């Protein structure tokens, strides 16, 4: 059984695929879990942790860090090409991988396809939390013209997993750091009423799976994780 669960499909272990399926089915059949979790951060009139230093810091940090990492990678790549160096092993394959990781998972799948067209209202917008829109379960198309499903910030934050996979040394350390950062950003969106738990979980799985698939396709080798 253990060997079966650790078997890889497109460089993604079977237990990750099964966990994604299980979570998706769970949120479909028990949609009220989203309301239940969000209620912990709602005091009857507002999401009381919205606007705190923690929430604002992690909300604003994503764009800054992702831009910095991307520009730094591009800058090092151009320097390597011009000076015939190999700093941090950033070559054409690495840049192609970074572009695919950022543009396909957080960009095309989460933001351009799901977030912009699914229509799910955010927690702060629904009637249960003082808004005027109707709650819609995850994975169900909505006419509420919201942008809750799935979480763009979560997807962008977990995209740092893609950078962590490139590490030649201490890869598990950098992966752990990337995952912790993604969790903190996701929590910041949850406590602010910006997203439901299912929005966050879905974005995590989309990015994790896509990132590992691109790693396999570009570098033609299995991750040891």
User: Is the CB of residue 191 less than 8 Å from the CB of residue 185?
Assistant: no
Return the pLDDT at 11. Answer: 83
Burial level of 204, CB count in 10 A (0-12/13-18/19+)?
buried
Return the pLDDT at 80. Answer: 94
- For residue range 138-186, list pLDDT tens digits in order: 999 999 999 999 999 999 999 999 999 999 889 999 999 999 999 999 9
pLDDT range class, residue 193, cuts 50, 70, 90: very high
For residues 92-102, average pLDDT: 96
**Spatial separation of the C-alpha atoms in residues 128 and 146, rounded to whole Å:** 15
> What are the residues facing 13 on neighbouring strands?
8
For residues 61-82, average pLDDT: 96
Assign residue 62 a region: left if phi > 0, alpha if psi is -120 to 50, beta otherwise? alpha
Residue 133 predicted with pLDDT over 60: yes
For residues 41-46, average pLDDT: 95
Return the pLDDT at 168. Answer: 86
For residues 97-110, average pLDDT: 96
Burial level of 129, CB count in 10 A (0-12/13-18/19+)?
buried
Position of tokens 């059949």? 29
pLDDT range class, residue 223, cuts 50, 70, 90: very low
């Amino acid at each position: 059984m253990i060997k079966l669960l650790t078997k890889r499909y497109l460089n993604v272990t079977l237990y990750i695929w099964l966990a994604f399926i299980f979570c998706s089915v769970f949120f479909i059949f028990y949609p009220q879990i989203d309301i239940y979790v969000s209620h912990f951060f709602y005091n009857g009139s507002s999401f009381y942790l919205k606007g705190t230093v923690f929430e604002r810091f992690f909300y604003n940090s994503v764009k800054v860090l992702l831009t910095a990492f991307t520009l730094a990678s591009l800058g090092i790549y151009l320097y390597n090409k011009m000076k015939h160096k190999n700093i941090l092993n950033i070559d054409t394959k690495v840049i192609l991988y970074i572009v695919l990781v950022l543009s396909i998972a957080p960009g095309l799948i989460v933001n351009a396809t799901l977030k912009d067209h699914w229509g799910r209202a955010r927690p702060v917008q629904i009637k249960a939390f003082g808004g005027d829109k109707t709650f819609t379960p995850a994975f169900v198309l909505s006419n509420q013209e919201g942008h809750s499903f799935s979480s763009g910030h979560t997807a962008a934050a977990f995209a740092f997993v893609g950078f962590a996979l490139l590490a030649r040394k201490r890869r598990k350390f950098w992966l752990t750091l990337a995952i912790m950062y993604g969790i903190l950003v996701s929590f910041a969106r949850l406590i602010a009423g910006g997203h439901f738990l299912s929005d966050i979980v879905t974005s995590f799985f989309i990015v994790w799976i896509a990132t590992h698939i691109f790693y396999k396709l570009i570098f033609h080798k299995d991750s040891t994780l």
